[in-house]
Structure 1
């Protein structure tokens, strides 16, 4: 049984403000614009255990932490996964999506983006 997996990480933020210092288990996975992403960070070691994710608000500098709990096990990751999409939602919850190819935005994220575009938020 392995202790961790090395993946390429894509960040999707559905927040209405830019964020920086996005840290997954102490590893910097980038920055994101409001309702945006950052490209990809390769070679991130993701341990099989309780995950931590924090980020800083670009306007205030305040640090936020994910409110939900993700306890990652080896069995949760598809055998052919090479990518992890980290999705940060406005309620400060986070969703991980693993895939063989670069994951797209989530359906929940698409709804948030669509609402912001319709209401000019």
Structure 2
């Protein structure tokens, strides 16, 4: 049995500030603007088992916590059986409460329903 899978990774951040140095199990997967996504990083080796994801906070000069490294607070333990056989993409979704959701798909995954709600609320209420 394989120890990992190689995928193209797309990052979606639902934070109200930019992030950078996003690291998935030690591999850089980019950064994102406020409520944004970035390009795709191909050829990322994702091991099965416990996942580690960190990112650094950015923002305008003087913004609290700029440069601080944040780690996901929810555990993700990835098993081969969780990944569809035809999956080529992994969307990494980072939420404001520092939880993360992985979505696997044959094609580039869209934003999650939870992410759409966060963005919609921000656009309607300026939050």
Q: Same fold (TM over 0.5)?
A: yes
**Are 2:18 and 1:18 aligned?**
yes
Alignment deviations for residues 61-90 of structure 1 (CA, whole Å, 9 cap, x no partner)? 000000000000100000000000000000
Aligned partner of 2:62 in structure 1 is none
The counterpart of 1:94, out of the listed 75, 100, 125, is 100
Alignment deviations for residues 80-102 of structure 1 (CA, whole Å, 9 cap, x no partner)? 00000000000000000000000
Q: CA RMSD in A?
A: 0.5
Q: TM-score, normalised by structure 2?
A: 0.94
The counterpart of 2:83, out of the listed 74, 77, 83, is 77
Alignment deviations for residues 23-58 of structure 1 (CA, whole Å, 9 cap, x no partner)? 000000001000000110000000001000000001
Which sections of structure 1, spanning at least 5 residues, go unmatched? none
**Are 2:125 and 1:119 aligned?**
yes
In the TM superposition, residue 107 of structure 1 has moved relative to its aligned partner by 0.2
Q: How many residues align?
A: 121
SS at match of 1:114: helix
SS at match of 2:120: helix
Aligned partner of 1:104 in structure 2 is 110
SS at match of 2:103: strand
Task: Give the distance between the partners of 1:120 and 1:50, measured in 2 at CA.
Answer: 36
Q: TM-score, normalised by structure 1?
A: 0.99
SS at match of 1:117: helix
Which sections of structure 2, spanning at least 5 residues, go unmatched? 60-65
Task: Give the distance between the partners of 1:25 and 1:63, measured in 2 at CA.
Answer: 14
Task: Give the distance between the partners of 1:69 and 1:4, measured in 2 at CA.
Answer: 18
Following TM superposition, where does structure 1 have runs of at least 4 consecutive aligned residues deviating by more than 2 angstroms?
none
